[in-house]
Amino acid sequence: DAGITQSPRHKVTETGTPVTLRCHQTENHRYMYWYRQDPGHGLRLIHYSYGVKDTDKGEVSDGYSVSRSKTEDFLLTLESATSSQTSVYFCAISEGQGLPNGYTFGSGTRLTVV
Amino acid sequence: DAKTTQPPSMDCAEGRAANLPCNHSTISGNEYVYWYRQIHSQGPQYIIHGLKNNETNEMASLIITEDRKSSTLILPHATLRDTAVYYCIVGNSGGSNYKLTFGKGTLLTVNP
């Protein structure tokens, strides 16, 4: 997707290891988000950021931490990966409510914890 | 955050209009209605949003009832590539609390 990239696109990791997913934007948008998507649950918000160093929890934040040290990067860290964190992770960016084009989503990171 | 209710699935014939309903009876005055869609395994894609007035863009039209308690997304001439899960979402107040909560959406299947 234009202006937003996620890395890596795919990752397999072992239970108990730390994992960091990166979301990078070139749009200078204020808001950034991490969602996970699992069968039967749809998209669920993990954490979001409303500015540099300003972050807050979403509905499924346990086991995850985030950091945003600059506008363009939003990192999601799984401190100690578990099999329940096997999922597809989507990053999204937004200028703000009511502004054109709403959220723009990245292409996703497929994470498998074995 | 206001909640939305959508039918889990709908079918539409190719070339016909697809009308996807959404109920959001608890919407508050400053909340927008957003529609997104997600084609299998891709990231969700923004379609349209509105506050009070009906809106139209190159992808779709959004009809919001006068009391704002429900809306309809209209794809005027559905194609096979419009087969996707469509999400109706109500956006909250903004500022440090601006986030969108996705439900399970409506799976629209466009049939030849």
* Contacts (Cβ under 8 Å, ≥6 apart) of A100: none
* Calpha distance A68→A49 (Å, rounded): 7
Which chain B residues have a beta carbon less than 8 Å from that of A108?
41-43
Token representation of residue B2: 């206001």
Q: What angle do CA B3, A53, A49 make, to 5 degrees?
A: 20
| Mean local confidence (pLDDT), B4-23 | 96
Query: B51: nearest CA in chain A?
Result: A98
Find the mean pLDDT for residues B95-109: 84
> Could you tell me if A85 lies within 8 Å of chain B, comparing CB atoms?
no
**Region B47-74 average pLDDT:** 95
What phi and psi, each to the nearest 5 degrees, are found at residue B82? -85, -5
User: Quick one: average pLDDT of B71-98?
Assistant: 88
Segment A6-45, tens digit of pLDDT: 999 999 999 999 999 999 999 999 999 999 999 878 889 9
CA angle B8, B28, B5 (to 5 degrees): 10
Does the CB of A98 have a partner CB in chain B at under 8 Å?
yes
B43 pLDDT exceeds 80? yes
Residue B81: strand, helix, or coil: helix
Q: How many helices (H) and strands (E) does chain B have?
A: 0, 9
Q: How far apart are CA B78 and CA B39, in angstroms?
A: 14
Span A87-113, average pLDDT: 88
